[in-house]
Amino acid sequence: MFAAEVRGRYPDHALHWAFTAHKVRRKLAARGMRHDSVAEALSRLHDQGVTHLAVQSLHTVPGVEYHWTLDQAMVYRHPRKGFAEVGMGSPLLASETDLDRVRLGLASYIPAERRPDEAVVLVAHGTYHQGHQRYLDWEAGARKQDPLLFLGALMGRPGGAEIVGRLRQNGARRVWLLPFMSVPGHHVQVDVYGASPRSWKGLLESAGFQVMARLTGTLLHAPFRAVWMEHLEAAVASTAGPARRA
């Protein structure tokens, strides 16, 4: 879906994918599909003669993996031995404007069947990096609009036990459990909705909550894709120049 929008917006640009997660690369390899890491993709594009490159992160916050991607991309920027220009597109929650726009997008991300007395728990990936603060800043603003909305993380805080405590303090009984990750991959299917009692769904049900789930991801949601697309447009604009682009 996002790839189709990018191709529609930039029909004269080649589009290539790279994957920061080694588990994803292993799965793609097992299926016989291209599974470039960021370093492999950069090297391949350079060998193909690309001179102007825009790199768009599909991370949610500027955490560890985003900065790895940024550092690797910028290492390849060199007037003679690398790319002449490299533009880096920001993750979903980069600026204060991004935080506001994504909060507004929640209105259509949360299922319409949700009742006013039902809580919403969004589960993010999280990161052990100062960029994690972006999640907390975003949640603080979102809770001003919706006091029964909570954001937890697989890595970092708040974890599942803390969210359970908050739900109890607010008297919630029914909970909509939604991922706050770009795609509904392994983390969503196993760590959020998995059958194990250690999953977020299992934890909430063990704590006595009725859990309502919907398999989705933020990249599947048009208002959130629009934010990433705007970041890509800024990255492409920063590489403006002749020659081949990707």
DSSP string for 214-232: ----GGGSHHHHHHHHHHH
Task: Please compute, for residue 47, the number of CA atoms within 13 A of its CA located in the half-sphere on the CB side.
Answer: 6
- Which amino acid is present at 76? Y
Residues 185 and 189: their CA atoms lie apart, in Å, by: 6
- How far does the chain reach from its first CA to its final CA, in angstroms? 18
125 is known as an active-site residue: yes
Pair 18, 34: CB distance under 8 Å: no
Q: Which of 99, 85, 187, 173 is nearest to 138 (CA)?
A: 99
Supply the Cα-derived Rg of the chain in whole angstroms: 19
Catalytic residue (one of 35, 125, 132, 187):
125
**Torsion sign across C-alpha atoms 175, 180, 182, 187:** negative
Task: Output the CA angle 140-68-61, nearest 5 degrees.
Answer: 15
Q: In what order do the strands lie in the sheet containing 119-124? A: 149-153, 119-124, 174-179, 210-213
Residues 17 and 58: their CA atoms lie apart, in Å, by: 11
Residues 177 and 157: their CA atoms lie apart, in Å, by: 17
Active site residues: 125
